[in-house]
Amino acid sequence: MSRDQQHIDIAIIGAGIGGLALAIGLTRRGMPVTVYEAATEFSAIGAGIGLGPNALQAIDLLDTRFRRLYESAKTENERPEFEHSVFDALYAEEGLDFGERIGWQRGLVGAEYFTRSSAHRRDVLNIMKSLISEDNVKFGKRVHVIKDMDDKVQITFQDGQTIVVDALIGCDGIKGITRRAVLEDVAPEDVPAKYCNMYIYRGIVPMAEAKEILGKHAGDAKWFMSKDKGLAIYPISKGKEENFVFFVKDTNPWKGPQEAVGCSREEMEADLASFDSRLLRLLDWAKPLRWPIFHHPKTSTYFKGRACLLGDVAHASSPGQAAGAGQGLEDAAILSHLLCLANSADQVKQVFSVYDCIRRPRAQKVVQTSEEAGEMYIWNAPGIEEDMSKIVDNANARLHWIWQHDLQEDVARAETMFLKEVQEMHVQPSPGRRTHVNDSPLGLDRQGAAAEIIAS
Ligand SMILES: Cc1cc2nc3c(=O)[nH]c(=O)nc-3n(C[C@H](O)[C@H](O)[C@H](O)COP(=O)(O)OP(=O)(O)OC[C@H]3O[C@@H](n4cnc5c(N)ncnc54)[C@H](O)[C@@H]3O)c2cc1C
């Protein structure tokens, strides 16, 4: 923060990857911030997370220490021949050999410039929390009511406390309350997450057992595919553990609340009856729970007044491209940069508008293409179906725009747009010029700008 800058009171709601990333980006730039988290401590939910080159670039922009720590915690594929592959496509059903068929032993998806890396979510969160002071995170603070007060936001917590801030950033995940606060008036149909007609069984298995079960396939990222079902595995925890996710297509609507439901081991096995029986031994390490996959395929705006959305609450994505958290990290890199350019709270709406313009088209495209990829991997893509060569070719073509994105250029573009807008604000203040709360204060055609970004 420079001496010319007035203090802006910022509340981040949610201490997941998105909220912590933003807090890291802001505190690294000397901007004070408070994170309010509903849980009483950092989440310890165990699962793996893969980060592509774009996510790593975002981490770099947030704080180079973050990148250094991630590099020391990450796990790469074990065998050098898989160094550059995000996964190796195999058959889930019993075949000639494990995962193989006559004429099919390997289906590498990746790129020369890409190096596969994953980590345990717990390790990523531990790194992130080490980069901010615990004093900046208030636990046990579940947001209950959000009230737009035009130039302030009033937040009431479940414990009865009320605070008023200049800016609220909702990072409260796919079911977050801030989504309703931002979208209810403009696009109420966008508010609830939509079921992807898919549920998963997941778990983490010690690598010694994984090797015993999977043989040569353990230790490297693999996708075992079949009609309407699949299994993704990859190493985490410096190769000491293997993360696995079984995907099951569900033609029915999801009944009841958007949360995991209990099931029996027999039901899991029945779902996966067509699989090579060796793969089912992984179920010993899966909780008997069906986790439904929901997403936000449409989000008409990421902000309203002084409140805005970041991470899954804005653009929760199905895991088909392993790109969801990466998009939250990109959000945080852009938003932290913009917020630090603002000289006063009066400029918060301009910050949010530019952020929405830069981030929403790309993040929503990730949501849409992740669903397409997920369907393709379970042999449901029209014209591709179960043709593994076509699946691998398609996968090899579809990921570059996510991985190779120039985030630094986004930052530069966002800065130019923001400064232009602020300049116009001072030269020609025009109250009442905008008729809609989220009309572009940039004087730009927002849809036009979005189309341009998608095309690039
Ligand atoms: C099976 C699966 C595999 C995935 N694999 C990958 C992968 O390999 N790579 C990748 O990049 N992404 C992956 N993702 C996506 C990734 O996990 C998410 O995008 C990411 O964790 C979302 O982070 P977030 O901070 O936005 O939300 P969350 O992690 O959901 O955090 C939200 C936080 O907000 C808090 N909160 C909620 N409501 C309130 C409230 N009212 N008041 C205060 N606090 C509140 C919650 O307690 C929580 O701590 C995967 C997702 C799934 C389902």
The per-residue pLDDT for range 279-294, each reduced to its tens digit, is: 999 999 999 999 999 9
Ligand 1 centroid vs 443 CA: distance in angstroms?
A: 34
- Tell me, what amino acid is at 133? S
- Domain-by-domain residue ranges, the chain? 10-74+119-191+297-418, 80-115+194-295
Is residue 444 predicted with pLDDT exceeding 70? Answer: no
- Tell me, what amino acid is at 58? A
Distance from C-alpha of 389 to C-alpha of 88, rounded to nearest angstrom: 12
Ligand 1 centroid vs 268 CA: distance in angstroms?
A: 25
Looking at residue 5, its pLDDT comes to 73
Ligand 1 centroid vs 236 CA: distance in angstroms?
A: 18
Is residue 449 predicted with pLDDT exceeding 90? Answer: no
pLDDT band at 433 (very low <50, low <70, confident <90, very high): very low
Q: To test ligand 1's pocket by mutation, which of 13, 36, 49 has the most ligand atoms within 8 angstroms of CB?
A: 49
pLDDT digits (tens, 9 = 90+) for 137-167: 999 999 999 999 989 999 999 999 999 999 9
For ligand 1, atom 41, name the residue with the nearest CA. 143
SS3 192: coil
C-alpha count within 13 angstroms, C-beta hemisphere, residue 238 = 5
Ligand 1: atom nearest CA of 118 is 8
Per the CATH hierarchy, to which homologous superfamily does domain 10-74+119-191+297-418 belong?
A: FAD/NAD(P)-binding domain (3.50.50.60)
pLDDT digits (tens, 9 = 90+) for 27-49: 999 999 999 999 999 876 668 99
Ligand 1: atom nearest CA of 14 is 34
Ligand 1: residues within 6 Å at CB? 13-19, 36-39, 43, 49-51, 141-143, 171-173, 176-177, 200, 245, 311-312, 319, 322-326, 328
Distance from C-alpha of 35 to C-alpha of 30, rounded to nearest angstrom: 15
Element (H, E) at 292: strand 289-295
Is residue 320 predicted with pLDDT exceeding 60? Answer: yes
Ligand 1: atom nearest CA of 141 is 43
Ligand 1 centroid vs 323 CA: distance in angstroms?
A: 12
Looking at residue 145, its pLDDT comes to 98
For ligand 1, atom 16, name the residue with the nearest CA. 325
What's the average model confidence in pLDDT over 73-82? 97
The DSSP-derived string for 346-362 is GGHHHHHHHHHHHHHHH
Strand partners, 241: 206, 236
Catalytic residue numbers read 202, 234
Mean pLDDT of the chain: 92
Strand partners, 13: 36, 170
What's the average model confidence in pLDDT over 354-377? 98
In the CATH hierarchy, which top-level class contains the domain 80-115+194-295? alpha beta
Ligand 1: atom nearest CA of 43 is 49
For ligand 1, atom 3, name the residue with the nearest CA. 319
Ligand 1 centroid vs 216 CA: distance in angstroms?
A: 32
- pTM, two decimals, is 0.93
Give ∠ CA 162-164-170 in degrees, rounded to 5: 90
Place of tokens 């055609």: 445
Distance from C-alpha of 377 to C-alpha of 370, rounded to nearest angstrom: 11
The answer to whether 247 and 240 have CB atoms below 8 angstroms apart is no
Radius of gyration of the chain (CA): 22
The pair of three-digit structure tokens given for residue 103, joined into one six-digit string:
């004429």
Is residue 169 predicted with pLDDT exceeding 70? Answer: yes
Element (H, E) at 322: none
User: Residue 247: which of 236, 232, 235 has the closest Cα?
Assistant: 232
Ligand 1: atom nearest CA of 316 is 19
Distance from C-alpha of 439 to C-alpha of 442, rounded to nearest angstrom: 9
Ligand 1 centroid vs 13 CA: distance in angstroms?
A: 12
